[in-house]
Amino acid sequence: MPYILSLDEGTTNAKAFIISEEGKIISSASREFPQYYPRPGWVEHNPEEIWNAQILAAREAIKKAKLEPGDVAAIGITNQRETTIIWDRNGKPVYNAIVWQCRRTAEFMERVKKEYGDLIREKTGLIGDAYFSASKIRWILDNVQGARERAKKGELMFGTVDSYLIYKLTGKHATDYSNASRTMLFNIKRGQWDDELLEIFKIPEEILPEVLNSADDYGHAKEFLGNAPVSGVLGDQQAALFGQACFREGMLKVTYGTGNFLLINTGESVPNSRNLLSTIAWKIGNKMNYALEGSIFITGAALKWIRDLGLIESYEETEELARSLGSNEDLYFVPAFSGLGSPYWDPYARGIIIGITRGTRKKHIVRATLEAIAYLTRDVVEEIKRHIFVRELRVDGGASINNFLMQFQADILGVPLLRPVNRESTSMGVAFMAGLQEDVWDMQTLEKLWEVDRKFVPKMNEAEREKLYARWKRAVSRSLGWVID
């Protein structure tokens, strides 16, 4: 029986899964790695700590499945997107990874956006924002001594986290179309790196990875992973879309992770939206598949924040605390810790809790945190509905296990939510992609592997729904532009 090893490198931990031919998770392992905050609004990772965590997780998953490394038929890699690493030929990073959440280049990107925003949107489908990789690359080249000169000589390589892991595993400097489309340097219509964008950001072409199909030959892993082929690569949100079997145009998923990410399949047409992102979903064979995306920076990270503050000991208790209240008692939490993403795109927004009274307790803040996740998701769905009819949402990610949140999400949206039996859609998606490359599955088989665990149907009346949402929008308005003098 062929087994797929899925490497799922996230923002706070590295996970690994062994997946069988029946699409079942046989074993899994996870290793956390540190987050670094050198200054307010700055977020970094140590790439070598990411690598070590990922390999330890992979070895543990193989061991727990009672397999040998040689039993792995293929490896899939999925990753936190936009996070930027530059390393040398020996695989040694020249600086920490600048994480997708990092806002150090926000002021620079505001200037770029004013001059080149329309051009960036037309070529990349992205909004000119510090969220994406281009300004992070430039920052490293400009601020690490000797980096720009070394890059021009071809001594350094840039990559998102997938590229770094691929290089460490196989020695190949490559990425896939989904990750390339998140750099703000890739022309998604032409399917290639864009010379004009490279000039705008002063980035030498020599440091860029080769762009391969999402199902392709990325080389063979080192011996400690059994020399298995790396056969599938996808950015995490595109992997979740694929793992949710959203193979047809108009199918929508939301992933509840560190942030929330909504993607709707738009087929072979490049969508155009003012406040959402157009992105490459995947490329298989000669077919490029696109998606419309809304990116919410902070959702699950807000739950981690209240845990770190000591308001909760575990995420599981949030459901009981939220249910202990009959309503939100007019308390709203806007978790704009590092600005707001879709549809606001305000890097200067900051978090607020509004509506506090003498009677406010931790249960009120916990409920407001869960509700904020649902409200932020509705903000994006409202934008999607301007372009495509939304019939239902397929949900996944850590917080999707919270039944209070899922029911409130269905209520505040007014559409059903479908939660699958297997909520590890990101890991499954890239495993499916790797399995396609190695002829373990075909597309028809993958559709049949997706199963519904529970359907959440809206119960809230429209008047109540709109009243709550209007109050949320008022709260958001007071968080916008906070750090501007």
Distance separating alpha carbons of residues 134 and 79, to the nearest angstrom = 17
pLDDT digits (tens, 9 = 90+) for 296-309: 989 999 999 999 99
The per-residue pLDDT for 270 is 85
pLDDT digits (tens, 9 = 90+) for 242-271: 999 999 888 899 989 888 989 999 899 887
pLDDT digits (tens, 9 = 90+) for 184-200: 999 999 999 999 999 99
Residue type, 281: A
Of the candidates 281, 294, 286, the one whose C-alpha atom is nearest the C-alpha of residue 188 is: 281
The domain over range 3-236 is classified in CATH as 1.20.1440.230: no
The per-residue pLDDT for 485 is 57
The pLDDT of 318-342, averaged and rounded, is 93
Give the chain's length.
485
Q: With pLDDT > 70 as the criterion, what percentage of the chain qualifies?
A: 100
The pLDDT of 37-60, averaged and rounded, is 94
pTM: 0.85
pLDDT digits (tens, 9 = 90+) for 377-435: 999 999 999 888 888 899 988 899 999 999 999 999 999 999 999 888 899 999 999 99
